Chain A
Amino acid sequence: MSKTPSKKTKIFTTGVATLSAPAHAPAVPVRDRTLRFNGRWNYSPAPEAHTDVKLRPRYDLFIDGKFVRPSSGKYFPSINPATEKQLAEVAQGNAADVDKAVKAARRAYEKTWGKMPGRERAKYLFRIARLLQEKMRDLAVLESLDGGKTIRESRNIDLPLVAAHFFYHAGWADKLDYAFPGRRPRPLGVAGQIIPWNFPLLMAAWKLAPALACGNTCVLKPAETTSITAMHLAEIFAEAGLPDGVVNIVSGFGDTGAAIVNHPDIDKLAFTGSTEVGKLIARSVAGTRKKLTLELGGKAANIICEDAPIDQAIEGIIQGIYFNQGHVCCAGSRLFVQESVVEPVIRRLRNRLSVLRVGDPLDKNTDIGAINSRQQLDRIEEMVASGKKEGAELFQPACKLPARGFFYAPSFFTGVTDSHRIAQEEIFGPVLSVMTFRTPEEALERANHTPYGLSAGIWTDKGSKVFQLATQLRAGVVWAETYNKFDPASPFGGYKESGFGREGGKQGLLSYLKFD
């Protein structure tokens, strides 16, 4: 057992290894140690069929169980960000429409939904979840068409999670009394919910499922660039026989959202979006009886320690920042790499970016789809320009972007410090800022030194280090040896300017309940 290894192989005795070529091998200069990814074997296009998916030319508002024209008579175009072509027209709701929706929600709350026993509400939620599963493929295609996200993600991640949220909360509906022993949970009433464009259906599910399970009725506003799937969700509610007015969906712009925020008969507001708008909402709600939860921006630290499994950590970096084109509030956008492993990490990251496929979101092999809107693309370009101007070094793989549509190559900056704008502000795109650290204490201090606190990631092979760091990171979600993993049973939410309140899990129910 204790036989001494031969001289040639000291490798396993200390854990620190010397990798060397066998004696007979010729020396290879370092410059020739490069992997090539020039497409010797390239993949043919593999587009998901989409012509069979029924897009309506025009989408109305969903109020009191019916699709109705907006009182203004106005519609705005919804475009496919991958082609810049118009997909459909979407109704522009105004304050009068919001008022109708709130009134319908109030009626439904008082007459049916608020009084209905939990076990009955659960039946509707289960039915909705099953319908979502049945229509998953079509909804995934629509989600990709309207939002630009890859079919790979909308089909494998978004839609399964949407259904999972309804299943999970259906399970809670008749068990609320047991979730909070000794207390009597009661619904709040009418919930106003405003959701972002990065995960249109998933965010709708995060908001609606717990609200409905707890006995509230809802007025939901989808983001203006991604309203279409919300209206298909409304169809599912109708098909499930959900009583009229329990869910109302009013599409529109910021003023439509403001009308919801300022409506006097709203009991609860839930907003997911930018910190800037979140602060405005918090100001408007101050001094009213409205209960508020906010899920806002982030600038998460993803920390790679020197003892991490490097090859897998690379995958964690990729999942962390390039998932959904980086349009993720909990994206691991600040990468902290321990100085002793910077070289191998960067080298592998470059190779890894070279095999990411950017292009048609409906191609089953696409890894990075379209940026959601021209406005967001401008924002990304502006931030990247600022990074370059401040002296950081940009890496982008050589990849051909489609001629039309909004696309941005996956990118990362090295030579970034804490005082760079790209290290402080949320870019919300496929752009990573790489920084280095010397000790775990330093990583921790710098990771926490941000106005945000939504999420963080840790990569180390040492379990004790995981716990040591995780307990001290000021972030709502800390992932260890993985990143961007979501589950309806796991509460999600932020510290500091990333918002307050939790969504998902038992904790998420508290956002939609009061106690006698």
Chain B
Amino acid sequence: MTRQSPSFGRVDQIMVEERAATFTKRSIKAESKLQGLRLVFSMLDLTTLEGRDTPGKVMTLCHKAMHPAPERYGVGPVAAVCVYPNLVRPAKAFLRGSPVHVAAVATYFPSGQSSLKTKLEDTKVALEAGADEIDMVIDRAAFLRGEYGKVHDEIAATKQLCGTVHLKVILETGELVTYDNVRAASMLAMQAGGDFIKTSTGKVSPAATLPVTLVMLDAIREFFFATGIRIGMKPAGGIRTAKQALQYLVMVNETLGDDWLTPDMFRLGASTLANDLLLQIAKCVDGCYQSGDYFSLP
């Protein structure tokens, strides 16, 4: 099953940024635009991760997730809602009978600065409450200290606990800084059993960027060629407009191709993005822009 690969490889900063910029030059018009916007909408992880989150707030989010807009816009539910572990239970209750998943952040999100025991305990809370997906954070401190084994083993332990529940591994690329680090951390996360790799917690700036996402998509491709396993990708944080979201979709389309253009393989973590997508979809359908007031707040 194992296969020799020449190396995990390095990333050239200038060229990867140049390539990422080319995806912003695609002109997405007419039918392809509407199709793209709807696809992006179905890939959303509608997110609320605040200290003040209550079951009430989560209920609002869940209803938005299930019934985002009037039927004539042809917009289905989003892929998932993403909440803190102690809000998983109410979220599951609100979403009962819908295809929308509940994703929970865990492992001492967002910093990951605690013991493995605590991180696993945190995960267990989310799992026991019925989370369908776990968004874990890696130990960036360990990574930057070169303790790659520790990073790996924590991911592996979390995956073991998750079993068949989908595990997304947040690299927090804004703290890893270099593209070489991002690539290495991506490889580590995939090898240790992550089902998805995710850029950011949304708590650190910069969050997702096009070049960082490209580096991660390239890593996913390398892993796929080596093992045949398709790992999902989730850029999160900082994607606020439909235009930006389409640029990410173009990048996936031209890097990993058809098999990644589904909510099973590509997600976008966002909250304000949802309504901009709806505004643009309404523009495509009705031919004119609507007031934002016609769309409910997430």
Contacts and interface: CB of A to CB of B under 8 A. Distances in A.
A54 interface: no
A481 B32 contact: no
21 contacts: A8-B149, A8-B152, A9-B148, A11-B188, A16-B6, A17-B7, A18-B5, A21-B191, A21-B228, A21-B229, A22-B193, A25-B229, A35-B224, A36-B257, A43-B27, A44-B31, A45-B30, A311-B9, A355-B253, A365-B26, A481-B15
B191 A20 contact: yes
Interface stretch (A26-34, A270-278, A295-303): A26-34
Interface stretch (A197-205, A340-348, A421-429): A340-348
A156 to B, nearest CB: 7
B279 interface: no
Contact of B148 (A12, A40, A41, A351): A12
Contacts of A482: 14-15
Nearest to B164: A24
A49 to B, nearest CB: 12
Contacts of B184: 12
Given A9-B191, A36-B258, A41-B39, A19 B3 contact: yes
Given A12-B148, A35-B259, A44-B33, A347 B15 contact: no
Interface in A439-476: 461
Contact of B228 (A22, A33, A340): A33
Contacts of B226: 19-20
Interface string A1-18: 101111011011001111
B96 interface: no
Q: Give 8 nearest A-B pairs by CB, closest first.
A: A28-B228, A5-B149, A46-B27, A312-B15, A20-B2, A40-B258, A21-B227, A19-B226
B18 interface: yes
Q: How large is the interface on B (under 10, 10 to 19, 20 to 34, 35 or more residues)?
A: 35 or more
Given A1-B146, A364-B27, A41 B187 contact: no
Contacts of B145: 1
A3 B152 contact: no
Interface in B205-258: 218, 221-229, 249, 253-254, 256-258
B4 interface: yes
Interface string B110-128: 0000000000000000000
A43 B28 contact: yes
A35 B254 CA distance: 10
Given A17-B7, A41-B261, 15 more contacts: A9-B152, A9-B191, A18-B2, A19-B2, A20-B3, A20-B227, A21-B229, A22-B156, A22-B159, A40-B253, A41-B32, A44-B31, A45-B30, A46-B28, A309-B16
B288 interface: no
A462 to B, nearest CB: 10
Contacts of A46: 27-29
Q: Which applies to chain B's interface (DSSP): helix, strand, loop or mixed?
A: helix
Interface in B100-140: none
Interface in A54-84: none
Contacts of B148: 5, 9, 11-12
Nearest to B222: A19
B293 interface: no
Interface of B: 1-12, 14-16, 18-19, 25-33, 35-36, 39, 145-150, 152-153, 156, 159, 184, 187-188, 191-193, 218, 221-229, 249, 253-254, 256-259, 261
Given A12-B148, A17-B5, A40 B256 contact: no
A15 B100 CA distance: 42
Nearest to B5: A19
Contacts of A309: 9-12, 15-16
Tell me which of B9, B16, B31, B153 has the highest count of chain A C-beta atoms within 10 A of its own C-beta.
B9
A315 interface: yes
A310 interface: yes
Given A17-B7, A18-B4, A8 B156 contact: yes
Interface in A211-267: none
Contacts of A5: 147-149, 152
A41 B39 CA distance: 9
Contacts, number: 181
Interface string A129-166: 00000000000000000000000100010000000000
B15 A316 contact: yes
B246 to A, nearest CB: 10
B186 to A, nearest CB: 11
A432 to B, nearest CB: 18
Contacts of A8: 149, 152-153, 156, 191-192
Contacts of A37: 254, 257-258
A306 interface: yes
B277 to A, nearest CB: 15
A11 B11 contact: no
A43 B5 contact: no
B259 A36 contact: yes
Nearest to A20: B2
Given A35-B256, A312-B19, A6 B12 contact: no
Given A40-B261, A41-B35, A15 B228 contact: no
A156 B193 CA distance: 43
Given A1-B145, A364-B27, A315 B9 contact: no
A419 interface: no
Nearest to A348: B221
Contacts of A312: 11-12, 15-16, 19
B24 to A, nearest CB: 12
Contacts of B146: 1, 12
Contacts of A44: 28-33
Contacts of B39: 41
A38 interface: yes
Contacts of A355: 253-254, 257
A262 B2 CA distance: 69
B187 A17 contact: yes
Contact of B249 (A15, A41, A42, A311): A41
Contacts of A11: 8, 148, 187-188, 191
A12 B181 CA distance: 11
